[in-house]
Amino acid sequence: MFTPHGVIPAVVTPLDAGGELMEQALRDVIDFTIAGGVHGIFVLGSSGEIYGLDDAQKRRVVEIAAEHIDRRVPLYAGASEITTRDCIRTARMVADIGGVSALSVLTPYFMTPTQSELVDHFTAIAASTELPVLLYGNEGKTHLKITAETNRTLSAVDNIIGIKDSSGDMSLMLDYLRTTPDDYAVLAGRDTLIYSGLCHGATGAIASTANIAPRLVAEIYNSYVAGDYKRSLELQFALVPLRQALDGATFPVVLKEGLRLAGIDAGYCLAPARELAPDKREQLAGVIADIGNLPGLAEKE
């Protein structure tokens, strides 16, 4: 069974001012992050504005990503709709295209199902596809937790292979790690907790900041795996200002602004997420410049 590992950027979906897909820009974002040393690409996540894309756009994003990546790194795709029925529809669309290594499925948003309903939801989605499935918990956005017990129950489903934990709650992540089989992957979804997750047994991270600083985020993982824990922690600390800068505007505006500063025009976010104030843009530019001057990173670009 496929094992997710390493740093996987949840890439943005480049859109023009009218909300239409910028196909070449998507290829450019993919190439930029792969050149930065990431270990996979994740499309149709919250960073990719899956919640606002129509079905044709979702299909085209997966088609372009699968064709352009051409198995250079594993491709992950989101099937994160509100209802079980719609998640299954997206999961089948992704499987039909091919070239995808695993699905990521966020808990429902807007509605708040019980934990037993969550088990039924994820189990039905997993049963609808032969693709490996990653659960995705993001309590801050959905106001819905995947409890340790629910995660443990779902870990017994054959093709549910792990969880992306964006809760920011290290105690919960530890419970995920402690109560599931060794081959069940736990991935950090909070960019400031990549090092901490690795220390406790996480296999990597799905990180939005890796859109902008792929080399830095990838090297947190690479340094840790190489046994250079001091450097891994130093790089984790260096990432914090960038993660904090993401709070400077409506998500994911800062990701696209950061890519623009890095030389990649990723277009606009879907309205009403539009603006980054001039002072926040200046702050972001300073953070990106500081990252570019970090020892041991610039020469690898």
Distance CA 93, CA 246 (A): 31
* Cβ pair 221, 6 in contact under 8 A: yes
Distance CA 109, CA 95 (A): 23
Q: Is the pLDDT of residue 298 over 80?
A: no
DSSP of 278-295: HHHHHHHHHHHHHHHTST
Segment among 155-159, 208-212, 241-245, 247-251 with least mean pLDDT: 247-251
pLDDT tens readout for residues 1-53? 799 999 999 999 999 999 999 999 999 999 999 999 999 999 999 999 999 99
**Which conformational region is residue 186 in: left (phi greater than 0), alpha (psi within -120 to 50 degrees), or beta?**
beta
**What residue spans define the domains of the chain?**
6-300
Distance CA 149, CA 115 (A): 9
Peptide bond into 14 cis (omega under 30): no
Distance CA 16, CA 257 (A): 13
Average pLDDT over residues 64-76: 98
Residues whose CB falls within 8 Å of the CB of residue 180, separated by 6 or more in sequence, listed in order: 151, 152, 155, 186
The reported pTM is 0.95
Active site (catalytic) residues: 136, 164
pLDDT tens readout for residues 185-239? 999 999 999 999 999 999 999 999 999 999 999 999 999 999 999 999 999 999 9
Q: Is the pLDDT of residue 301 over 90?
A: no
Domain 6-300, classified CATH 1.10.10.10, yes or no: no
Average pLDDT over residues 160-177: 97
Q: Is the pLDDT of residue 279 over 50?
A: yes
pLDDT tier, 299 (very low <50, low <70, confident <90, very high otherwise): very low
Closest by Cα among 41, 53, 47 to 77: 41
